[in-house]
A and B are shown apart, each in its own frame.
Chain A
Amino acid sequence: MPLLQYEAPTSLAQARQALAGRSDAKILAGGTDLLVQMRLGLRDPALVVDIKHVPELMEITLGEQGLRLGAAVPGAVVTDHPEIGQLYPGFVEALGLIGSSQIQGRCSAGGNLCNASPAADCVPALIANRATCNIMGPDGERTVAVEAFNTGPASNCLAADEILVSIDLPRPGPRSSDAYLRFIPRTEMDIAVAGAAVALSLDEAGVCIDARVAIGAVAPTALLVPAAADALIGGTLDEDSLNRASAAASEAAAPITDKRGTVEYRKKVVGVLVRRAAGVAKARIEATS
């Protein structure tokens, strides 16, 4: 019988040491993906490194610059936080969509990102918020934009001995907000057929001065769609700019047909979601200013 080795380092240095030279290791945060995959026989690591006891991975720092979110901070901690939801309501909503209440106590934004599912809910929301990843490896730290972190389904840019330590979300400017919407056939406990995150900044006249649009579940990785953002910037989220943004998102989408949806369906619906998410983000800005 193969044996499974388990390590629970209490510092980044120990974690790095545990992973050094191992190509057969997997990092365990909440385990809401990894343990399921192991049970299904999809992954068979010889070593599991539990990083929940490493302080940097469990910390939340909210300052002038924005949010630094430890990669293993559970979803429930973020969704219960009094301020994060005000600054990044779309991101918090996206994170809150993962699994059930029980799963929320374990799942994390970092885990959701590292698992590299094309349908991961919080990834488009991180991208829309210009989030960046702080990665620790044997040669020190490096920073990668979230949109460049994943390289394909179930694959990311981490080397075998690297750890995602935290994610930085810059503080949004005034009159800014975001929104994330996903389409599932049910109301919860499901995987996105398509997802869209929109982050907006409006001027006092309601003209969009900045926008980021990201889409999920419609390509091998979540995509930043600059053309959709460009369609929104300079307009007042009027019908015409929403139509163009929606069309740009549909155009950028490169989905597959599988048991959860068809190519045609996903391309169409992701456009619908971009339009609706932009509306939600706009309403949020208007409601708070």
Chain B
Amino acid sequence: MSINIQTDFKTVGTRPIRPDGPDKVTGRAKYGADLNLSGMLYGHIVRSPHAHAVIKSIDFSAALAMPGVVATMSAEDLPEPGDRILPGAEIEMKLKDISPIIMARGKVLFHSQAVAAVAATSESLAAEAAKRVVVEYEVLPHVLDVHAAMADDAPLVHDDVFTQGIDPAPTRPSNLSADFEMAKGDIEAGFAEADLVIERTYNVPMCHQGYIEPHACVARSDENGKIEIWCCTQGPFMVRNMTAEITGIDLGKIKVTASEIGGGFGGKTTVYVEPVATILACKSGRPVKIVMSRDEVFRASGPVSSAETQVKIGAKKDGTLTAIKTDILMDSGAFSSSPILPATMFAAACYRCDNMHSRGREVLTNKPKAWAYRAPGAPQSIMAVECAVNELAQGLGIDPIDFRLLNAVEEGDVPLFGVPFQSIGLKQSLEAAKNHPNYQAALEQNQGRGVAAAFWINAGLQSSATIHVAEDGSLNVLTGNPDIGGSRASMAMLAAEVLGIPVETVRPSVVDTDSVGYCDTTGGSRTTLATGSAVMKAAGMLREELKHRAAAIWNVDIKEVEWYDGMAVVHSGIGIDELRDELRAGTAGRNPEKVLTMAELAAQAGATGGPLTASASVHAHSAQPSFAVNICDVQVDRDTGKVDILRYTCVQDAGKAVHPAYVEGQMQGGAVQGIGWALNEEYLFNDQGVLENAGFLDYRIPVASDLPMIDTVIVEVPNPLHPFGVRGVGEVPICPPMPAVATAVNRAAGTQLYDLPLSPPKLLAAIEGAGADNEAA
């Protein structure tokens, strides 16, 4: 499968001013919590004080006795999920794994799980009323640690979970919800062939996406049962679907409008508050607003699975990899939702190796239900493989980039997950990293360098777009994908490119679920690729329509009309090349007998068939993988264990960067998130399952002053399936930072610490331990 890929662009690849910029920097942009309606109530959610308990009873009477408390709800107000599978979801999801996150049903399975909710006339009144909801619990033993959860006598998180992937299927329920393996070649023969084998265990902690804007929504119900929801989300159509399924309200009665979004990173690809506000709005007959606090976001949204990964990897003296074995254990929290599949499938996707084996196990514990975070699952397992590769290269005395170049996958190679690679840019990215000045920078004492490569699959999925031409020839481009990473800019640029018009004349908008065709969620690095393809398709249809309108005005055959540089031009009496020369020279002027601009065509639209619009939809099959390579230099303070990032370099194959500044922003943002995960971010639970650092003070994402300028290099190996060569860019940036940082730190400190985060107390203890080992030796 191949198509002609355009390489000469007018707009794509430039850096126009972002359309959302002025509203964001002036504070005009409206985020989830910024909408207020007259008569609006405030919802407050009552949360479990226990990690595992039976809900014996819920008594709302004291709360309802307070003047101004208008409505209450609990799981009683939601339909029984039964065995229903969520229709239309990207992957199979059971309603019984989703509904209890909105309202616990019968049992609570983690601390701070939603149990009930109240709506009142003010925020403070709602909070006070929530305190007066009396919930009687019967506390059950809980389990927090994945190893403890797999013990025979462990408390069961669910009594109806039987391990998937084991043949024959187990007859006893357990907390091990999935255990599966993938293999190719002969793994033991591969290790027998190796001259050096590295075997080590790597731990990545449970963390949070750390989006700055908490979940927020307003829901309104009218007398006809029509529901309107305004919320910050990555997917308004997903909110519509999930709210319908969870509440039992007909999907067709729900309209969802996505607000501006202050970060999602995968964390806003599900619902937490929207169904609650909807039910409270239906019961009260008034609009209801719910804004999660930061504390609630940390405790009760979807954090990111921890992973313990054992890697065994072997190579010959010449550096050829002979065997790669990974065994990944993921904590999914209280429901099966971890990204164990991609973690297992993609751990070593960067490498050509005949003998591979990967095992993935997902374990349930009494912790919040894990959810997606940029390239879900890949950072955890890639962390392990990349650190092991660095150790292997070092042990063989081979430069880590050369080692990777020797073993990197390229077109035609078949990874463990079976789908042969088409044209990909891993080797080109490795070469670019090797040639970067930062890779040559001299290191001083207590400084170290780490390199890592990474893969992510990227998604396509379904998208729609509508284009309207205004009377002056300017355009509205409408899609249903919230702009979390620059999609409005790329939608406008792709439309401008196809039509050959200035990007400034295109106004991109994210519109509600009633106003555009279905769009899958903004996620999976898919929006510029898939929704962009819908925009390109609609723009192409519009271009054809414009040619027809011009032909009608000129009264010539459509074959006589060309579209050039944003204008219709007619061949009649003059060759197209000659006309182009005239247009370039400006001598054709504004001769409407030869040339019709967008504005002129738009002005005559009424006389030529009515308003100019085009709508298109796609189920994009053109997604192709992305690869990235990072280089990290650190300095370690041997007296305190503190790590400073000295230099950081991101290289990534973007296929074709539509708006390079946004691509660089994605690369830098992913690096920062990965650096945070490597050095300080982690969920700290006490022995009762209560999160101890539910705030940004003690959940330490990096601050700006922690970081150097993050250097970026965009590599462009075109996606062979996309007419402009575009690949998704949003997720792979978070895959290489953890191993790059961890390797750099261990090189600088002379340690072998692979239990992330590499926080100062842990690193100092490792430095002292390594020092003691050296003295003993």
Direct contact of A and B (CB under 8 A): yes
Complex: chain B residue closest to A261, CB-CB: B761
Supposing A191-B697, A259-B692, A272-B640 touch, asked if A186 and B702 sit within 8 A by C-beta, the answer is yes
Report the separation of the CA atoms of residues A184 and B524 in the bound assembly, to the nearest whole angstrom: 35
Q: A21-53, CB under 8 A of B: which get 1 and which 0?
A: 000000000000000000010000000000000
B759 touches A187 (CB 8 A): no
Chain A residues within 8 Å of B679, by CB: 185
Supposing A186-B706, A188-B705, A259-B693 touch, asked if A268 and B764 sit within 8 A by C-beta, the answer is yes
Quick one: which of A1, A185, A268, A272 contacts B759, CB cutoff 8 A? A185
A186 touches B640 (CB 8 A): no
B640 touches A269 (CB 8 A): yes
Complex: chain B residue closest to A2, CB-CB: B128
Q: A261-276, CB under 8 A of B: which get 1 and which 0?
A: 1101100110010000
B136 interfacial contact with A, CB 8 Å: no
A265 touches B764 (CB 8 A): yes
A to B contact number (C-beta, < 8 Å): 54
Q: B632-664, CB under 8 A of A: which get 1 and which 0?
A: 000000011110000000000000000000000
A260 interfacial contact with B, CB 8 Å: yes
B426 interfacial contact with A, CB 8 Å: no
A240 interfacial contact with B, CB 8 Å: no
Min distance, Cβ B589 to any Cβ of chain A, angstroms: 56
B124 interfacial contact with A, CB 8 Å: yes
Report the separation of the CA atoms of residues A284 and B295 in the bound assembly, to the nearest whole angstrom: 43
| Chain B interface size range | 20 to 34
B283 interfacial contact with A, CB 8 Å: no
B59 interfacial contact with A, CB 8 Å: no
Quick one: which of A40, A189, A190, A262 contacts B761, CB cutoff 8 A? A262
Min distance, Cβ A119 to any Cβ of chain B, angstroms: 11
B506 interfacial contact with A, CB 8 Å: no
Q: A66-106, CB under 8 A of B: which get 1 and which 0?
A: 00000000000000000000000000000000000000000
A188 touches B703 (CB 8 A): yes
Min distance, Cβ A8 to any Cβ of chain B, angstroms: 21
Report the separation of the CA atoms of residues A260 and B703 in the bound assembly, to the nearest whole angstrom: 17
B684 interfacial contact with A, CB 8 Å: yes
Within 8 A of A (CB), among B700-717: 700, 702-703, 705-706
Complex: chain B residue closest to A183, CB-CB: B640
Within 8 A of B (CB), among A176-210: 183, 185-191, 193
Chain B residues within 8 Å of A189, by CB: 697, 703
Complex: chain B residue closest to A271, CB-CB: B639
Interface of B is mostly: loop
Supposing A1-B125, A272-B640 touch, asked if A265 and B703 sit within 8 A by C-beta, the answer is no
Interface of A is mostly: loop
Report the separation of the CA atoms of residues A40 and B761 in the bound assembly, to the nearest whole angstrom: 28
Chain A residues within 8 Å of B641, by CB: 265
Q: Number of A residues contacting the other chain (C-beta, 8 Å)?
A: 20
Chain A residues within 8 Å of B642, by CB: 183, 185
Report the separation of the CA atoms of residues A188 and B707 in the bound assembly, to the nearest whole angstrom: 12
B698 interfacial contact with A, CB 8 Å: yes
Supposing A259-B684, A262-B761 touch, asked if A187 and B705 sit within 8 A by C-beta, the answer is yes
Report the separation of the CA atoms of residues A188 and B696 in the bound assembly, to the nearest whole angstrom: 12
Chain A residues within 8 Å of B760, by CB: 183, 185, 193, 261, 265, 269
A185 touches B700 (CB 8 A): yes
Report the separation of the CA atoms of residues A124 and B526 in the bound assembly, to the nearest whole angstrom: 53
Supposing A1-B128, A268-B764 touch, asked if A186 and B692 sit within 8 A by C-beta, the answer is no
Report the separation of the CA atoms of residues A17 and B770 in the bound assembly, to the nearest whole angstrom: 62
Complex: chain B residue closest to A265, CB-CB: B761
Within 8 A of A (CB), among B285-307: 295
B257 interfacial contact with A, CB 8 Å: no
Report the separation of the CA atoms of residues A260 and B642 in the bound assembly, to the nearest whole angstrom: 13
Chain A residues within 8 Å of B700, by CB: 185-186, 190
Report the separation of the CA atoms of residues A191 and B697 in the bound assembly, to the nearest whole angstrom: 8
B703 touches A187 (CB 8 A): yes
Chain B residues within 8 Å of A264, by CB: 761, 765
Chain B residues within 8 Å of A191, by CB: 697-698
Supposing A259-B692, A262-B761 touch, asked if A186 and B698 sit within 8 A by C-beta, the answer is no
Complex: chain B residue closest to A194, CB-CB: B640
Min distance, Cβ A184 to any Cβ of chain B, angstroms: 9
Report the separation of the CA atoms of residues A269 and B768 in the bound assembly, to the nearest whole angstrom: 13
B128 touches A190 (CB 8 A): no
Within 8 A of A (CB), among B667-712: 679-680, 684, 692-693, 697-698, 700, 702-703, 705-706
Complex: chain A residue closest to B699, CB-CB: A259
Q: B328-360, CB under 8 A of A: which get 1 and which 0?
A: 000000000000000000000000000000000
A259 touches B761 (CB 8 A): no
B706 touches A187 (CB 8 A): yes
Q: B742-774, CB under 8 A of A: which get 1 and which 0?
A: 000000000000000001110011000000000
Complex: chain A residue closest to B641, CB-CB: A265
Q: A57-71, CB under 8 A of B: which get 1 and which 0?
A: 000000000000000
Report the separation of the CA atoms of residues A272 and B764 in the bound assembly, to the nearest whole angstrom: 12
Given contacts A189-B703, A259-B698, A261-B761, 11 further A-B contacts (CB under 8 A): A183-B642, A185-B760, A187-B706, A191-B697, A259-B692, A259-B693, A261-B760, A264-B761, A264-B765, A265-B765, A269-B760
16 contacts between A and B (CB under 8 A): A1-B124, A40-B295, A185-B642, A185-B759, A186-B700, A187-B703, A190-B697, A190-B700, A259-B693, A259-B698, A264-B765, A265-B641, A265-B760, A265-B764, A269-B764, A272-B639
Give the interface of B toward A (CB within 8 A).
Answer: 66, 124-125, 128, 295, 639-642, 679-680, 684, 692-693, 697-698, 700, 702-703, 705-706, 759-761, 764-765
